[in-house]
Chain A
Amino acid sequence: MSAFLNLTPIVQIVLENPFSGTLYPPDGSVVATIDSGYEGFLTIPMNLFEQLRLDELQQTSRTLVLANGEVLTSKGTYATLRLPHLSVKLDGFVETYRGLDEIILGVEALSHFNAILDYCSRRVSLRTCP
């Protein structure tokens, strides 16, 4: 399901580490915030990264530039993102860094969808590309 939460677009997702067969959450789904300013695929909190056992895989580091111009180093690897309400599975680079407390879905993940943020009717629509 995708919707607005206090005018912030959110989507329900499930994360999977296909190499260990780990799912997060094990049952149901978790909320990810859509951030069109984030150029990556998915950023998740460090504890979640560890729960998915993604930290056991070899990591790639890169630099993330914050909105205020500050920079930080993230680490990450490839994992699978599922959108249960659309029956969609996407593979992409999932990264993390210290201090992050929410799941952020970036434009790299959004590039697979026809996304409509309808603030008039408070509706978020995600449809897969034809």
Chain B
Amino acid sequence: MLHRKERQRVQRLISPPTGLRVLAILHHYSRSTSVFSFDASKIVGLKRLFLGVLRNLYVIFTYIFLVGAERVVNLTVSMSAETVEKLRRTIRERYASRRGALSGLVEEAVLEALGRLETPTQTEKFRALKDDSIVAEADSLKQLASRLKDLRVDSRSVRIISSVHLAPVARAGFRSRKA
């Protein structure tokens, strides 16, 4: 039988049944003579637990390496010597030339730029209205003016509107003041 203090120690080690703690228990008993007086069923239980933990760890590591791990590929890009020097200086100053810092910073910048580019930009169209019906439509005012000219429509007789809604109320800013 185990001594009371030894039992408490085992319980303390067992409480969160992690692989590391189980290894520690087994290591402790492999060096202790009292292991021979330990109940056989408990040793079998511990062995099962240990094997179970090993099996789970195997599954987790296989998942990380085969499925979950991010694939890293090498990419060669050209930049101006000035930019590269700036980049290297920043890496030296901020990250103490830590391994992977350059790739990390470049990837972060690329992701940020891609995010910005992927944001949909609103395309504005300009319309000339006469009695609420569209006389002409174009992507720019210059184009619209030329279409109206082609249609022989006087620009003063139409109302120019934009596809981008004009707010009926807007803040005038800090420089505007009443007369």
Contact = CB atoms under 8 A, between A and B. Distances in A.
- Which label, helix, strand, loop or mixed, suits the secondary structure of the B interface? mixed
B146 to A, nearest CB: 9
A86 B174 CA distance: 26
Interface residues of A, number: 39
Contacts of B162: 78, 91, 93
Given A78-B126, A80-B142, A130-B116, A102 B172 contact: no
Q: Which of B141, B156, B167, B168 has most A Cβ within 10 Å? A: B141
Given A20-B155, A98-B179, A130 B169 contact: no
B145 interface: yes
Nearest to A102: B175
Interface residues of B, number: 33
Nearest to B143: A18
Contact of A70 (B156, B159, B170, B178): B178
A65 B172 contact: yes
Contacts of A115: none
B173 A18 contact: no
Interface of A: 18-20, 33, 35-40, 43, 56-58, 60, 62-67, 70, 72, 77-80, 89, 91, 93, 97-100, 102, 104, 106, 129-130
